Structure 1
Amino acid sequence: MPSPSNKRRKPARSTRAQSSGNVVRWPGLERDKPDRRTLKHAVSLTSYESKQVRWVWEGRIPLGKITIIDGDPNMGKSVIANADLASRVTTGSAMPDGGDGLGEPRSVVLVVAEDDIGDTVRPRLEAAGADLDYMFTMPVQRNDAGQVIPLTIPDDLERLREVIEEVDAALVVIDPITAFLSESINSHNDASVRRALSPLKEVAEETGAAVLLVRHLNKSGDAKAIYRGGGSIAFSGAARSALVVERLPSDPEWSALAQVKGNLSRKSLTIKYRVVSAGPEGKVAAIEWGETCELSADDLLSKPDARKNAPARTEAKAFLMDVLADGPLLVAVVQKHATAAGISWTTVKRASTELGVVKETSRKATGKRQIEGWVWSLPKGLKSATEN
C-alpha cells in the first residue's frame, strides 16, 4: 500500500483572477450557456425577432404603439388628429414636415365623442382631401330601450380589435380618451389608468395599428410639459410618444405641435401650424402647416399663470401688507377695510394664502374663554409695503 505521502495531489484551485486579453475570468465562475430548449420558466430573447420601428409619422407617431396628443380646447388638436393626419394616412401622402408617411393608402378608425361625424368630422376630412373609402368608425350599439351603448375602455377593446382587423387600419384615433374610460377607471390614479391602457397597448401591438389618444391639458400652468396632461401621469407613461399643441407666445396667430417625449427616437423638431377656414363657404376648419422651430414643449407651456400674476392679486397683497403692518387684526376688521378700499374679498383671501398670512383664533377674556373670531397677521420676516 503506497504511503500517503506518495499520493498524487490535485493542484490547489487558484483564487486569483486570470487575464486573457481584455477579459478577466475568475476560476470556478465559468458557466455553460443555458439550453433554451429545456427552459421551463424563462424565455430566451433568441425567440424574438429583431424588428425596426415603423412609423405613421416618423419620430412622432409609431405604428403598433400608443401616442398621445394634449392641448387646450380650441387649439385644433382634433382637427390635426381626426382630419389632417387621418387624411394623409388614407391617401398615403407625405406628413406635415415633408416626411414620406406610409407611402400607400391605409385605413383609419375614428372613435370620437365630442364632434358629430356628419356635420363636423366628415366635412373636415373632405376639406383635407381624405379618401373616405378608407375612413371608418365604430358601429353604434343599442340596448333593448334603444339607448346607445358607448364603447368603454378596457371593457370593449375586443370590439375595437375586430374593427381594426376587419379594415386593416394603420391609425386609430380616440378623441378624447377620457370620454371612453370605463366607470371603474379613475383617470387620476396611476394604477387605474394602467389597467385601462395596458390592454389597449396590447391591441396596438398585436394589430400593428398606431393608436393616437387625444387629451385635454390640466390647469397647472407652472408645471413641466410632461405633467400638463389631464389626469394621471400614467397616460404619458403608456405612450411611446407624447405631443402637445399650444399657441406660439411670440405670434398668437400661429400655434405649434411639439414633442414632449419620444421613447423610440430622438425628439422631433417643433412644427408651426394654424387653423384656417376651408370647405364650402369657408365654414370648415383645416390645418395650415408652417416651418419647424427650436422651441421645446416646455418653452411653449411655460407662460406666466395669469391667475397668479393678476394686477388685482398684486394690489390685494399690497393692501394686506399695509393693513397688517401694525399687528394682528380680526378678519372682520380686515374685511371692512377691504370693502372700503374696493378690493374683492375673494381676491384678498387668495392673496393671503400666497403671502402666507398667519391665521389664528382669538378668545375673549372671560371665564369660558369664548372664541372672539379669527385673527390675521403677517408672517415673521415679511415687511410691510411701506418699508424699504
Structure 2
Amino acid sequence: MRETSSNAMDAALRALEAAENDYTKLDTAHLRFLYRAWVREDPGFPYVREFDTAANEAYEKAEGLFRFDSLPTEGQRNAVARDIQRHPDDPTAWSNSTVSTLASLVLQHTERDREAFPDDHDGLVALAELRRRFEDRYGVLVASAAIRRHEMDAQSAREAHGGRPGTWVRKDGTTGSRKDAKGKAQEADDRNVRLFRARDLTAAEQPRWLAKGRIPRASVSLLVGDEGIGKSLLWVWVAAAVTTGKPLPEFGIPAREPGRVRLVITEDVWSQTVLPRLEVAGADLDMVDVICEDEDGSGAPVFPDDMEYVTAEPRPVLVVVDAWLDTVPAKLSVRDPQQARQALHPWKEAATTTDAAVLLLTHTNRVASSNARDKYGATGELRKKARMTLYAQEDDEGHLVVGPEKSNTSTKAVASVFAIDGVPFFEANEEHDGTVPRLRYVGESDRTAAEHIVANFEGGADESMTEAEEWLQDYLTARNEWVPSKDVKAAAAKDAGIRERTLQRAAKRVAATESRGRPRRTYWAAKAVASRLEPPVGQVDPMAPPPNPSDGEVR
C-alpha cells in the first residue's frame, strides 16, 4: 500500500511539474491526491507557493460555506432529490438549502463511511456523481477541503462521543434519532454547562500584563518567526526576569515578586542549549520547571493529555511551549480550522485557570508576502485564537526585531530591537568556541512589526545592491556555472566575512536556485546567466530518505 501511495505521489508531482506548478491545469484525480497530501503534511510533498496559497484559501471558503454538525434528515434529503430532478444538469440552479444539504450528503462519502448512505436512494444520483457536481460548482480544492473537514469532524465525534445521535445515517438508509430536549439538558448537565445572568458572572476588570503591551496574563500569546533567527532567546530573556523579579522596563516588565516559569521544550537540547542560555541570562533555576519524560529533558508531552502538569501547584506565572506544534496530538491536523481550534482551546483554559501568561512558539511558512497574515505557519487559526501575537524577524543588520503583530487588548507598540551576543560559558575547543548566545536590548524601532514585514518584503525601496549582493553576483558570474550553495557560503565567510543569513538574503535578489539529488542539495547561479547554463547534476544517495517540504527553498 505504501508503494502504491508513493507511486501515486510521484505521478501527481510529475503532473504538477509538467504544468509548471500551475495547479489549475491538473486533472481532478491528481489535484485531489495532492490536496490530501498537502492537508496531511505528507513529507513527500514539496512546498509549492501557488498551491499552498490556493489550498489555504480553499479551506477558508469551505469553512464559510458549510456547517457539518450532523447529516441531513430524511425530509431534507427528499427536498434535495426534488431539486435535482428539476435541474438535473445545472448545479448552479440548485437552491442554497439544497447545496448546503447536498454538501453533507457528498461529504458522507468518505473512505471510512462510504457504506453508510445507499447510492440508490430514490431521486438521488450516486454519491460519486453528486461529488462531481459539487466539484463543478465550487472547484476541486474547495470540495476536497470540505470533505477533509467532514472526515475529521466525523472521526472526532466517534472518538469523543462514540458517534453523536444525529451524526450518522444508518446502513438501512434511515437517520438516527436526535436527542430530545430532556436528553440534551442531561448532556449539558454532565458537562457542567449552566445558564448565568450577566450580573452573576465575574465583574469587569482591566487587562493585566506580564509585559505591558506585549504579553498579557491569563491569556494565550503567540511568538512566531523564521527558523534560526534567535526568537527563542526572547523567552529566555523574559523568563530570567520573571524568575528573579528583576525589571525589564524597556519591554514593559516592572520589578515584582519572582514567579515560576514552566517550560515545554521540543526542539533544542536541554543540557547543550536551553540550560546554558538560561544560566547566561541570569535565570533562577529553582523557579523553573520543565515538563518532559526523561531527566535529560527529552520526551515531549502531548496536550491536552498532559495539561495537568501545566496547571499543577505551585502555579506558574509564565508557561512557554517551544515549539507548540510538536505537542499537538498526531490525530489532529492544524491546517484544519476546527481541529486547530480544538488543539489551541485547552491552552486558553489553562491560562484562565492558572492566571499565567502562556507563550506558544511556532515558525513562519515560506510564503513571500508583505502581509503578516500570509506568513503564519501551519494555520492562520493560530493568529485568530491567540490574544496577542509577537512577530520576530531579522533586520538588515542582523538584529532580532520583535513586536506585536496582532493585539486584542491594546494598541500595537513599535517593535523592539535586540542584538545577540556570544557569552563565554563552556571551555573552548576545536569543535565549539565555548560561547552561548544572549539577547541584549538595543532600543525601540521606529516601525511596528507589520511595517518591518512590508519593508523586508520590498527588500527596501532602495534598488542599489548591498555589499553582500555585489560579492555574490561577482562570485557567481565569475564561476559561470551552478555552484553548491554550501560552497558559496564557505567562500563568502572565508573571503568576505559575510554571514550565512546575510548571504541568504542576498541570494533572494541576485541568485537563481535549483535543487537536485537525494538528499536534496541546493545550487546557485547568477540570474543573468542561469538560463544558459546546463542544469546541475545532483548525486543520489540510495540510503537517503525521500525529499521533504523544505526542499527547494533558498539555503
Q: Which TM bucket (shorter chain)? A: 0.5 to 0.7
1:291 corresponds to which residue?
Answer: 443
Of residues 371, 377, 391, the one that matches 1:224 is 371
Q: Which whole-Å deviations, capped at 9, do the CAs of 1:213-269 have from their partners, x for residues lacking one?
A: 1111100121511331211111111111101111113xx232211210111111112
1:179 corresponds to which residue?
Answer: 326
Q: Does 1:233 align with 2:380?
A: yes
Q: Does 1:191 align with 2:338?
A: yes
Higher relative contact order (CA 8 A, sep 6+): 1
Equivalent residue runs for 1:18-57 within 5 Å: 41-57=195-211
Query: What CA distance in whole angstroms lies between the structure 1 residues aligned with 2:379 and 2:255?
Result: 32
Cα distance, 1:222–1:137 mapped onto 2, change above 3 Å: same
Query: What CA distance in whole angstroms lies between the structure 2 residues aligned with 1:141 and 1:286?
Result: 26
Q: Does 1:107 align with 2:260?
A: yes
Query: What CA distance in whole angstroms lies between the structure 2 residues aligned with 1:259 and 1:225?
Result: 11
Query: What CA distance in whole angstroms lies between the structure 1 residues aligned with 2:253 and 2:530?
Result: 64
1:127 corresponds to which residue?
Answer: 280
Query: What CA distance in whole angstroms lies between the structure 1 residues aligned with 2:352 and 2:531?
Result: 65
Q: Which runs of 4+ in 1 moved over 4 A?
A: 304-313, 343-346
Report the more deviating stretch, 197-206 or 220-229.
220-229
Cα-Cα RMSD = 2.7
1:244 corresponds to which residue?
Answer: 391
Query: What CA distance in whole angstroms lies between the structure 1 residues aligned with 2:197 and 2:317?
Result: 30
Query: What CA distance in whole angstroms lies between the structure 2 residues aligned with 1:79 and 1:288?
Result: 10
1:349 corresponds to which residue?
Answer: none
Cα distance, 1:45–1:123 mapped onto 2, change above 3 Å: same
Report the more deviating stretch, 150-159 or 208-217.
150-159
Q: Which whole-Å deviations, capped at 9, do the CAs of 1:332-355 have from their partners, x for residues lacking one?
A: xxxxxx999336499xxxxxxxxx
1:262 corresponds to which residue?
Answer: 407
Cα distance, 1:66–1:309 mapped onto 2, change above 3 Å: same
Q: Offset of 1:290 from its aligned partner?
A: 1.0
Q: Does 1:72 align with 2:222?
A: no
Q: Which amino acid aligns with 1:294?
A: D
1:153 corresponds to which residue?
Answer: 303
Equivalences, count: 272
Cα distance, 1:157–1:100 mapped onto 2, change above 3 Å: closer
1:37 corresponds to which residue?
Answer: none
Q: Offset of 1:277 from its aligned partner?
A: 0.7
Gaps of 5+ in 2: 1-193, 427-433, 460-504, 514-528, 538-555
Q: Does 1:97 align with 2:250?
A: yes
- Does the aligned pair in 2 maintain the 1:55–1:101 contact within 8 Å? no
SS in 2 for 1:220: coil
Cα distance, 1:340–1:73 mapped onto 2, change above 3 Å: closer
2:417 corresponds to which residue?
Answer: 272
Equivalent residue runs for 1:321-360 within 5 Å: 341-342=532-533, 344=535
Query: What CA distance in whole angstroms lies between the structure 2 residues aligned with 1:91 and 1:199?
Result: 28
Q: Which amino acid aligns with 1:85?
A: V
1:118 corresponds to which residue?
Answer: 271
User: Radius of gyration: which is bigger?
Assistant: 1
SS in 1 for 2:250: coil
Query: What CA distance in whole angstroms lies between the structure 2 residues aligned with 1:155 and 1:139?
Result: 13
- Does the aligned pair in 1 maintain the 2:383–2:389 contact within 8 Å? yes
Taking structure 2 as the reference length, the TM-score comes to 0.46
Q: Offset of 1:304 from its aligned partner?
A: 4.5
Query: What CA distance in whole angstroms lies between the structure 1 residues aligned with 2:274 and 2:214?
Result: 23
Larger strand proportion of the pair: 1
Q: Offset of 1:59 from its aligned partner?
A: 0.6
SS in 2 for 1:264: coil
Q: Which amino acid aligns with 2:319?
A: V
SS in 2 for 1:97: helix
Equivalent residue runs for 1:204-223 within 5 Å: 204-223=351-370
- State, as a whole percentage, how many aligned pairs show the same letter: 28
Q: Offset of 1:98 from its aligned partner?
A: 5.5
Query: What CA distance in whole angstroms lies between the structure 2 residues aligned with 1:339 and 1:297?
Result: 35
SS in 2 for 1:256: strand
SS in 2 for 1:169: coil
1:35 corresponds to which residue?
Answer: none
Q: Offset of 1:296 from its aligned partner?
A: 2.2
Query: What CA distance in whole angstroms lies between the structure 2 residues aligned with 1:240 and 1:131?
Result: 28
Cα distance, 1:137–1:311 mapped onto 2, change above 3 Å: closer
Report the more deviating stretch, 59-68 or 118-127.
118-127
SS in 1 for 2:317: strand
Taking structure 1 as the reference length, the TM-score comes to 0.64
Gaps of 5+ in 1: 1-39, 143-147, 314-337, 347-388
- Does the aligned pair in 2 maintain the 1:339–1:345 contact within 8 Å? no
Query: What CA distance in whole angstroms lies between the structure 2 residues aligned with 1:76 and 1:267?
Result: 22
Q: Which whole-Å deviations, capped at 9, do the CAs of 1:264-288 have from their partners, x for residues lacking one?
A: 1111121100111114255111001
- Does the aligned pair in 1 maintain the 2:363–2:376 contact within 8 Å? yes
Q: Which amino acid aligns with 1:203?
A: A
Larger helix proportion of the pair: 2
Q: Which amino acid aligns with 1:158?
A: E
